[in-house]
Amino acid sequence: MLFSVIGNYSLLLGLFFGLVLLYFSAKNFRNSQLLDTKILSFTFLQFFLVVISFLCLVSSFVVSDFSNETVFNHSHTTKPFFYKIAGTWGNHEGSLLLWLLVLTLFILIFLIRTKNQPVKYRVLTLVFQQIIIIGFFIFLIKTSNPFNHIYPVPSEGLGLNPILQDPALAIHPPILYLGYVGSSIIFSSVLAATTLNIVTKKWASHIKKWVLISWIFLTLGILLGSIWAYYELGWGGFWFWDPVENVSLMPWLALTTLLHCILVLEKKLILTSWVIILSISTFALSMSGTFLVRSGILNSVHTFANDPERGLFILIFLFSLIFLSLFIFFFFHKTSTDNPSSFFWLSKETAIIINNWFMMYFLSVVLIGTIYPIFLDVLSSQKISVGPPFYHKLIIPFLIPFLLIMAIGPKLKWIKSNLEDKIYLITLLIVSILISFLIVKNFSSNFLINTILISSAFYLFFITLRDFFIKGFKNLAQNIAHFGFSLLILSILFNSLFSSEIITNLKVGQTFENTKAKIVFESISQKEAKNYRSIIGNFTVQDSKGKIENLSPELRIYNQPNITTSEADIKTTLLSDKFIVINIVQNQEFFNVRYQVKPFMLWIWISVILISFGGLISFLKKGYEK
Amino acid sequence: MKNKLLPLSITFVFIIIFIIFFKGLQNTNIYTPETKTIYKVPSVSVKTIQFK
């Protein structure tokens, strides 16, 4: 009870300091050459108050204070301690408070780390960030207060959705939020820089590390969500083009494109419009994701509540920010006429620009696939679902030139270049085609497209691999990220080409056998845990080479809420995963058994980590700020 | 005139998107992607059987 009161008043005070900061920022913007020390103090105070508020909510969850409505709705006394803490952000109200926490943290770090930047720019960035922060404060307090009381106090809570009780999902939201909210700083910063007309090479060097940090966290956040979906949702895939996945992919694509534009802008005063629009788009797409998953306009595990009032608030807030950005862009942005905006056809920036267009195309496909069903339903009451074939057909063919340009682009010089080392480039291309042909020759379906696609991925793979040996530490960050991307595409392709699946219904003691595997349902056993009981199926699986594995998938029946989840058992090796999951066939003795062999799964995760690691190396390189 | 046409048309597009989302909110969950079915579990009695 006490925690809720303190938390609530901290939120109100935080909002008050937001308004105070706007007042002092306006004053400081007009009058001073130095950043008013009060601004830094109040920003710190605002952050401190949000920390207090957040800790109060964590404490309410830890002590199971069911007088708090959020705790009552999302916790239970039997829930393990770790998930009591993770439950703080496993719901709408708590996750928004976490969002607010990261927003205030980022602006504080921004003010501390930008002492060498012009005062007006810092103040104006603070103003735009405070507009976002105040919007979130009002949203939280008005429609989603995490400190609402319940009276009389219930003796027990309703519990956390069991599929959210998972280590990967406990850390997935904070990591993802660091990516999403990091884009808010880029958004505020670009609006400030556009207003002051300082979108220059120097500004690009300064904002690059903020782009990088958001990009790294967003990449890792998406990875964690994907790993969780793989082993928790029980269908054995890691990406299903679900709208909830798409809304995280879209800001990632925009951010990746922005990162490459910033690289160009650092060298040459061009692409300023690209940089501004992409910075705005990244944050707008992050906010759109929040709108889509929180408003109840679509249904998913992230749809914590279907409350139109919340949806309407986010929608109005999002579009207010978009219209503000459009106004600033069209009113203040002046394209410099002193600088040549033409490109020599063979140069690094041309390669970057071409691939940026490809990434914009991928983004458009994902955007249309995600929102088209909503549009169609509103306009013609038709209900459709856009599935993987739509995305595969529209994206895969364009990956081929994209990968080839990714391979050749880094070999080119800025401004004007010649294609050097033609012989080794051609040799590697031939080697890549030959290897792909040997791999794909046994597959009759989509032979041509698979061969070309795998060749392109191998080409990027070999070129980046060679660069590790030839160039050493030169362009290491870019090389690791591009190498990781080639490995990702290869792993996904091999995974989809060589995966196999058996779906059958079995009773205890029965055996399923085909040419690929022999599955014996040996026994079932039970296990009691604190907040659930398990039915464990014990299986012996023998593959075509005679290798035997014991696999034990579970069905978990949670006490509160009383629902069942399927827990896959996965045996991971360097080359493949063996994945088995069971489900109850209602009112029968049979269990539905799904057994999959998934090659190169581990490499999908490793490659994404490598991509982020490339970003991390670039981030740690000195010389951006000073 | 040409300079004004672009911002006006972009604003118009965003207003349309806003209206569609707004209308969509009147009917929540209008778009339901495929999700995993979570069964209400029937009570089952389980005993361990070992097969040799």
The whole-number pLDDT of residue A340 equals 54
Q: What is the mean pLDDT of residues A474-491?
A: 94
* Least confident range of A281-295, A331-345, A551-565: A331-345
Chain B hits for A233, Cβ within 8 Å? 36
Q: What is the mean pLDDT of residues A497-515?
A: 88
Looking at the DSSP bridge assignments, the partners of residue A463 are none
The overall average pLDDT reported for chain A is 88
CA distance B49 to chain A (A): 6
A578 vs A565: CA distance, rounded Å: 19
A50 three-state secondary structure: helix
Please say if the pLDDT value at position A541 is more than 80: yes
Q: What is the mean pLDDT of residues A12-37?
A: 88
The whole-number pLDDT of residue A359 equals 96
Contact A191, A135 (CB under 8 A): no
% chain B with pLDDT above 70:
46
Contact A487, A475 (CB under 8 A): no
Interface of A with B in 167-186 (CB under 8 A): none
Facing residue for A522 by CB, picked from B7, B10, B51: B51
The whole-number pLDDT of residue A424 equals 87
Task: Provide the ipTM.
Answer: 0.81
Question: Does residue B10 belong to the interface with chain A, where contact is any CB pair within 8 Å?
Answer: yes
- B43 vs A252, which has greater pLDDT? A252
Interface of A with B in 292-311 (CB under 8 A): 295-301, 303, 306, 308, 311
Tell me how many residue pairs between chain A and chain B have CB atoms under 8 A apart: 120
pLDDT digits (tens, 9 = 90+) for B13-26: 999 999 988 888 87
* Least confident range of A303-312, A397-406, A436-445, A542-551: A303-312
The answer to whether A562 contacts B7, with C-beta atoms less than 8 Å apart, is no
Q: What is the mean pLDDT of residues A97-124?
A: 93
Q: What is the mean pLDDT of residues A469-478?
A: 86
Q: What is the mean pLDDT of residues A430-441?
A: 91
The answer to whether B25 contacts A308, with C-beta atoms less than 8 Å apart, is yes
- B43 vs A276, which has greater pLDDT? A276
Facing residue for A378 by CB, picked from B24, B28, B49: B24
The answer to whether B46 contacts A535, with C-beta atoms less than 8 Å apart, is yes
Contact A253, A359 (CB under 8 A): yes
The answer to whether B29 contacts A330, with C-beta atoms less than 8 Å apart, is no
A178 vs A215: CA distance, rounded Å: 9
Contact A101, A181 (CB under 8 A): no
Q: What is the mean pLDDT of residues A15-26?
A: 94
The whole-number pLDDT of residue A267 equals 86
- pLDDT confidence band for A293 (50 / 70 / 90): confident
pLDDT digits (tens, 9 = 90+) for A135-167: 999 999 998 899 998 888 888 888 877 777 788
% chain A with pLDDT above 70:
95
Facing residue for B31 by CB, picked from A235, A315, A374: A374
Strand order across the beta sheet in which A591-599 lies: A500-506, A591-599, A576-584, A569-572
pTM: 0.90
Chain A hits for B45, Cβ within 8 Å? none
The whole-number pLDDT of residue A34 equals 73
The answer to whether A330 contacts B7, with C-beta atoms less than 8 Å apart, is yes
Fill in the DSSP letter of residue A416: S
Please say if the pLDDT value at position A330 is more than 80: yes
